[in-house]
A and B are shown apart, each in its own frame.
Chain A
Amino acid sequence: MSSPDPQHSSKPDLDESINVTKAHGRVERESAATAREQRIADNGHEPLALWVIVACGIVLLIAGGVIGDAGTLFSYGNTFKEGYVRGKAPGSLEEGPAPKDALAAFSAKGQKVYSKCNGCHGADGKGGASYPSLAGSAWVVGDTQKFAMIVLNGLQGPASNGKTYGVMPAQGSGMSAQDLAALMTFVRNGFGNSVGDVVTVEMAENALAISAAREKVGQAVTAEEIKADHMVMLEGEPLDPTTMVDPAKLTPVE
């Protein structure tokens, strides 16, 4: 750039100190990248390719399938699919809870039922000043029929130790044979009691039948009635306490 060519040197200089050619060269160099750019062309008008339309169509079909899984659109009340039933879980949990021996299974279920007795007889079954103790009570660990009648119908008058507490209300409403069997097994084998047998569901069904057939249906039993009518074991096939049963259904497993 040191030797200016005649064409450029003939241009008028604005300032003697500026070498126009040199300055021009620098400007060109500094904006060279910009100068060599091209304009963005007008938009092309190639037709849509068929394969692009087909590919988009396939994806539309897939998306339609996904929407199909959505159930009723915009039904803000439903948080799960209509008619949804929980599918079978994979793996070992599918067989349900692991079987337990009968005494443990009945007692575990009975412990849950006992929660309604907690309030008076206490979590430890010891009762208290105004409630009789279940631990060691003769009516609890003795014949099962009288125990069942007391649970189902309540108790009026003196208890097994001869003392008179308040009136025990009936607990039988809404209690199933399973609940009763489990509860009795739990109480007879908990709180220090250790009868060691299982009150079966069959026995509890019989107890419900006997309770419904009492002369004074709807009234709490008394010590006299117990001694007169109910000093027997409930009838039914005894169950070996070591039999393995399903802890939810309380039925023996093969």
Chain B
Amino acid sequence: MSSATQKSSSQDALLRSGIDRSLRHPVMFFMTSGAAWLAVSLILGVISSAKAHSPEFLDGCGWLTYGRVQAAHTSALIYGWGFQAAFGMIIWMMSRLSRQECRASGIILTAGHVWNVIISLGTLGILAGYGTGMPWMEFPSFTWPVITITYAVIMVWSLVQFKVRPEGHVYISQWYLLAAMIWFPWVFITTNLLLHVFPGNPVMAAGINAWYKSSLIFLFFVPIGLGMAFYLIPKVTGRAVHSYSLAKLGFWSLAIIMPWAGMQKLTGAPIPYFIPYLGAAATVLFFIPAFTAAVNLLRTAMASGDIVNNSPALRFTTAGIVGLIVMAVAAVFLNLPGSTLKLSQFSLSGYGFEMLSLYGFFSFVAFGAIYFIVPRITGREWLSRRLIKMHFFISIYGIMLIAVVAIFGGLQQGVGQEMFDQPWATASTRAYPYAICITFSWCTILISNIFFFMHLMVMWLRLGRRSNHPTLLVSAHGHSPHGEEGDIDNAGPGTAAAH
């Protein structure tokens, strides 16, 4: 391709450097506390998954019964890790793309602390038995107004930055970020009002709850992950996004199709008959926005295969995009009426799909973003390529196992659930081996993220490598552990390739 760009001028570098410095406290806070919440969520996930096949595990502790620990696991994963990683990515990327320093980092940092307090209260509330029992909205209902306000205080500055941006066209990432920033309050406030303030028919309430889950994935985590990927891949490879028209198709199809998805969970329930099928069709159609965006990004990235392989940021991001393709295929595969739809909604399959979206796609892109952003805001390079590789490979194998095993094991479980003349235990027996495998996979993912968390802590303490050469994932047999460029604090400007 001929569109490789020149290095930007030193003026630009200064501006970027200033933006990064203005944001270093809030972004670093969101990323480190997000990573800590990820670890908490993974520990809870291991416990809840273990209880699915060995109910006697930790059965002496009322706080750790399955219903509570499973709810705490997903809530910590979504609001503790997912949202905080998203905040870090959004405020950083919006500042960069609007080419302005952040003037409210103190307020954002404070709001970030409030967010952590309310999430902690919510999680403790769930474990103490005060959960609402509504999937993904399990925090006790007093939390939602606080969450809404805190979210607004964190996000509004990015909207302001966008509003006063210098002239110029709006980049693809900004479409996705702006849309997600506005969609989430719409979805969150609507569902909470309809479920907590003006409760209606309880069957429909279950449908609204299912719509919330689906919308959180498709209208928040997916667009934010895509926005980040559309930023990182062209940034690191220095190539233009493969096709602008494909990007437009991907964005607008996402915006038009995905709000319809979600209610397929209520197939067969006494709600208006067409609604679940409309939801199933919309979820099937998720393939179009996901696949077009993924092809676009992979085409852009794979034109520079070496960079993708060597750069930690790109390796994680690209893996996340592959996860998005798997997710798109699974969305089609799990929503076919007459075969999989009835098997997938109350079994492990649904969980597998959710984890595929939250971890297989979103978290991988977020890891990529963290590996890219943290060296810029701390002024230090990642300490060890081996830790990054461990994180990458163990995570990849773990999430692949979870996705494959949960999706197919869930279908087996669903077949068992459909046999209504058999005792319910039949369905559990069918899911038993798969549940064991999922516990094992969560353990591996937990181990990989312990490496990640330690590494991030080191960076947070500014103990990273003081070098002007990036930490790349090249194999270095017989070389210095930090690559051919040299050792720690080799000082002086060098001529490293752009990464």
Contact = CB atoms under 8 A, between A and B. Distances in A.
> Do they bind each other?
yes
Interface of A: 1, 25, 28-49, 52, 55-56, 59-60, 62-64, 66-67, 69-81, 89-93
A59 B270 contact: no
B332 interface: yes
Contacts of B13: 31, 34-35, 37
Contacts of A66: 277, 280-281, 284, 335-337
Nearest to B376: A33
B386 interface: no
Interface string B233-277: 011101111111111010000000000000000000011111011
Nearest to B328: A59
Given A31-B13, A63-B281, A69-B338, A75 B272 contact: yes
Given A41-B239, A52-B295, 17 more contacts: A1-B492, A25-B493, A29-B493, A33-B468, A36-B470, A38-B7, A39-B8, A41-B234, A45-B243, A55-B291, A56-B292, A59-B287, A63-B285, A66-B277, A71-B274, A78-B272, A90-B419
Nearest to B303: A44
A70 B274 contact: yes
Nearest to B280: A66
Nearest to B492: A25
A49 to B, nearest CB: 7
B243 A69 contact: no
Nearest to B292: A52
B172 A39 contact: no
Interface string B464-494: 0011111000000000000000000001110
B332 A45 contact: no
Interface of B: 3-8, 10, 12-14, 16-17, 20, 171-172, 231, 234-236, 238-247, 249, 270-274, 276-278, 280-282, 284-285, 287-288, 291-292, 295, 299-300, 332, 335-338, 375-376, 379, 381, 419-422, 466-470, 491-493, 496, 498-499
Nearest to A72: B274
A30 B242 CA distance: 32
A78 B243 CA distance: 44
Contact of A44 (B16, B243, B332): B243
Contacts of A76: 272
B240 A81 contact: no
Interface centre among A33, A38, A59, A90 (most CB of B within 10 A): A33
Nearest to B244: A43
B8 A37 contact: yes
Given A43-B240, A73-B278, A49 B235 contact: no
Kindly list the 7 A-B residue pairs having the minimum CB-CB distance in the complex, ordered from nearest.
Answer: A32-B468, A70-B277, A43-B244, A30-B379, A44-B240, A41-B240, A38-B238
Given A29-B468, A31-B17, A46-B242, A62 B332 contact: yes
B247 A41 contact: no
Contact of A62 (B20, B336, B468): B336
Contacts of A75: 272-274
Given A25-B491, A79-B270, A37 B16 contact: yes
Contacts of A64: 281
B267 to A, nearest CB: 10
Nearest to A46: B243
Given A1-B491, A90-B419, A36 B273 contact: no
Contacts of B498: 36-38
6 contacts: A1-B492, A30-B379, A44-B242, A59-B285, A75-B273, A91-B421
Contacts of B3: 41-42, 44
Contact of B421 (A33, A41, A81, A93): A93
A8 to B, nearest CB: 12
B270 A56 contact: no
Nearest to A55: B291
Given A41-B239, A44-B242, A36 B287 contact: no
Contacts of A81: 273
Contacts of B278: 67, 70, 73
Contacts of A1: 491-492
Interface centre among A25, A69, A72 (most CB of B within 10 A): A69
